[in-house]
Structure 1
Amino acid sequence: MAASSKKVIYAALIGNALIAITKFIASVITGSSAMMSEGIHSTVDTGNQLLLLLGLKKAKKPADKEFPFGHGKEIYFWSFIVAIMIFAVGAGISIYEGIHSLMDPHPVQNPIINYVVLGLAMIFEGFAWYFAWKEFDQARGDRGYYEAIRKEKNPTLFVVLFEDSAAMLGLIVAFLGIALGQFTGLHIFDGIASIIIGIILGITAAWLAYETKGLLIGESADPKIVTGITNLANNYNFISGVNEVLTMHMGPNYILLNLSVNFENTMDVNNIEENISTISSQIKKEYPLVKRVFIEAEENDR
């Protein structure tokens, strides 16, 4: 999963960097506010890919005394920072640029340059979007798209997909804004397009922040895993009942498990220690994402 995440991020990073440079050159030549907003958008996206790569690198740091469960949540933190960057920088500057253009509207020079740049950007962004969607579609399995986004524990997949989707919408809006301004002679459409691009980025940022917040705080494992662990524990004849199965994702590939069970009264302390070791090993074998298991033994009063 980590290798796939990096491929998606690198593809988006290269594409956005090239597109950003092209858009800024076009905005300087033509004076288009919408194109300037698109250039800012692509620059923010490029920076976001770097932040995600930083998060993946930091998440690999081994556990230590200060962080006994590792640094897996680094990727959640940096994904949340990406959402803030999109909102504060991308959306904020785009809306500001649009308002400034509305207050002082001016014609877009050489609009054909913008059309060529936007067309090329759509091709590059479309490729990056398809690559991100393909990886996300593979990771979601048999889950629905909405459920997959809500339950996905690797935020890099849907963060890049959301960014690329917002980029595609922004390109369409920029194209329409420039075209309407050219054919109607009303120069305000360029500024309106810039504001709409900012709104799209703001909505995207809010949704990403909402989705990554739960991961950052600490979401439980997939319900199927919780149910599977419960059933596995109940199948042992030395366990008379399962009280609680508490899980938390410490990273995309790291689940912390606390299992509270009732042991049969016929067992002594040595039996309990041996059986705890047995069930811990079996859980880790059946569910490789479970890295640490804590079992709370309670005596059955029956």
Structure 2
Amino acid sequence: MSSHASKKVIYAALAGNLLIAVTKFGAAFFTGSSAMFSEGIHSAVDSGNQVLLLHGLNKSRKPADKYHPFGYGMELYFWTFVVAILIFAVGSGISIYEGVHKILDPHPVKNIMINYAVLGAAVIFEGFACSVALREFNAARTKDNFIEEIRSSKDPAIFTVLFEDSAAMLGLLVAMGSLFVGDYFGIPEMDGIASVMIGVILALTAMLLAYESKGLLIGEAASPDLVDRVEAIAGDHPAIDGINETLTMHLGPRDILLNLSLDFRNDLPSGDLENVVSYLESVIKAEFPQIKRIFIEAQGGTQGKSGVTG
């Protein structure tokens, strides 16, 4: 998935969340609804998160230098982890606090039809942003299973927006349902309960996002299919007797580091060895342009077995 596609998803989510946040806070001010206030906090936090993701995307495109010889691609992973922390600390924390306060000191929601109108509009805005993210996500899918695709995805900008939009839609349904129940049955505490439930949804979203981001931040290998194909390319060359080790790591969504330990034929002249290495690098990069750096080691079959796996 291209950087342009990632930015498109983030800009769509940012525009929607900014509009939604303003309307939600306005409704909360006029109606005194804790659930609506929590929803406003939710949208405001999401807007800030999208700004951080855009910042991470821009930083990740900086060229390599002597201080960061492998580039800045992992900046995006870092800022995604920061987003997870903000969702948990700010979004979830404030929502739960506000909800508990409202449960302990309940009062009826005024002008409830304003809340219904705002929540209905929010569903439309969130639905649009979610559809953009889902369309871009599906365009790059390689697996039939949605959960497996999320787990194998190396582009946190896309799955972060998906997580946020899914949580937002669920939060809107909770707010609408709780406000209706509270108003219809005369249970003012339902407004606070809705706020707490929205906080729990945000906390679960933050933990899931943090879990996925942590794996990318500490270094994840490339997909098994890519590794198998690279080993097939190397193993098919007549100058190679065997493959000792294949190590890969994502330095960014479209930036993979590859280290190959190969057992070359013993009778291969040193000049031919250089030609083989150049050939393998060109063929692998042509098929997998996301592999930006390749290091090939010439080692005997027993020397390469270091016990480290890719």
- Structure 2, unmatched stretches of 5+, are 303-310
User: Residue 307 of structure 2 aligns with which residue?
Assistant: none
Equivalent runs, 1:26-65 vs 2, <5 Å: 26-65=27-66
Change in CA separation of 1:34 and 1:284 when aligned onto 2, cut-off 3 Å: same
* Paired position in structure 2 for 1:293: 294
What one-letter code is carried by the residue in structure 1 that aligns with 2:201? I
* Amino acid paired to 1:53: L
Partners of 1:145 and 1:171 in 2: how far apart? 23
Which residue of 2 is the match for residue 137 of structure 1? 138
Aligned to 2:109: 108
Kept in 1: contact 2:244–2:301 (CA 8 A): no
Q: TM-score under structure 1 normalisation?
A: 0.98
**CA contact under 8 A between 1:34 and 1:190: conserved in structure 2?**
yes
User: What secondary structure does 1:109 align onto?
Assistant: coil
* Cα distance between partner residues in 1 of 2:35 and 2:270: 72
Aligned counterparts of 2:58 and 2:290: Cα–Cα separation in 1: 19
* AA of the residue aligned to 1:118: L
Q: Distance in 2 between matches of 1:300 and 1:70?
A: 32
What is the alpha-carbon distance in structure 2 between the residues aligned to residue 299 and residue 285 of structure 1? 27
Contact 1:264 1:299 (8 Å CA) reproduced: no
The aligned residue for residue 257 of structure 2 is 256
- State the match for 2:218 in structure 1: 217
Contact 1:264 1:300 in 2 (8 A): no
Q: CA deviation at 1:147?
A: 1.1
| CA deviation vs aligned residue, 1:16-72 (integer Å, no higher than 9, x gap) | 001000000000000000000000000000000000000000000000000000000
- The match for 2:269 is 268
Once residues 281 and 298 of structure 2 are traced to their aligned partners in structure 1, the CA distance between those partners, rounded to angstroms, is 13
C-alpha separation in 2, matches of 1:150 and 1:25: 38
What residue in structure 2 maps to residue 169 of structure 1?
170
Structure 2 distance, partners of 1:78, 1:210, is: 14
Q: Does 177-186 or 188-197 show the bigger shift?
A: 177-186
Q: Give, in angstroms, the shift of residue 6 of structure 1.
A: 0.5
Tell me the amino acid that sits aligned with residue 19 of structure 1: I
Shift of 1:211: 0.6
Supply the AA of the counterpart residue of 2:117.
Answer: V
Shift of 1:300: 5.4
Match of 1:20?
21
Deviation at 1:282, TM superposition (A): 1.2
Distance 2:143 2:197 in 1: 35
Q: Per-residue deviation at 1:141? A: 3.1
SS in 1 for 2:299: strand
User: Which whole-Å CA distance do the structure 2 matches of 1:5 and 1:258 have between them?
Assistant: 28
TM-score using structure 2 length: 0.96
> What's the CA shift string for 1:260-281, capped at 9, x where partnerless?
0100011122221221111111
Give the Cα–Cα distance (whole angstroms) in 1 for the partners of residues 81 and 283 of structure 2: 35
Q: State the AA in 2 paired with 1:24.
A: F
Which sections of structure 1, spanning at least 5 residues, go unmatched? none
* Residue 300 to residue 152, structure 1, CA distance change in 2 (3 Å): closer
> 1:122: which partner in 2?
123
**Which one-letter code corresponds to 1:16 in the other structure?**
N
Deviation at 1:287, TM superposition (A): 1.0
Residue 239 (structure 1) aligned with residue 240 (structure 2): yes
Deviates more, 1:250-259 or 1:271-280: 271-280
State the 4+ residue runs in structure 1 displaced beyond 2 angstroms.
none
Give, in whole Å, the separation in 1 of the partners of 2:172 and 2:47: 16
Q: How many residues are paired up?
A: 301
Aligned residue number for residue 284 of structure 2:
283
Task: Say yes or no: does 1:91 pair with 2:92.
Answer: yes
Query: Could you give the per-residue CA deviations for residues 44-101 of structure 1, whole angstroms, max 9, x where no partner exists?
Result: 0000000000000000000000000000001111111111111000000000000000
What's the counterpart of residue 81 of structure 1?
82
In the other structure, the counterpart of 1:9 is 10
Deviations 1:212-250 (A, max 9, x none): 111000000011100000000001000000011100000
- 1:254–1:289 CA contact under 8 A, matched in 2: yes
The separation in 2 between residues aligned to 1:177 and 1:264, in whole angstroms, is 72
Higher alpha-carbon deviation: 290-299 or 10-19: 290-299
CA drift at 1:143: 3.6
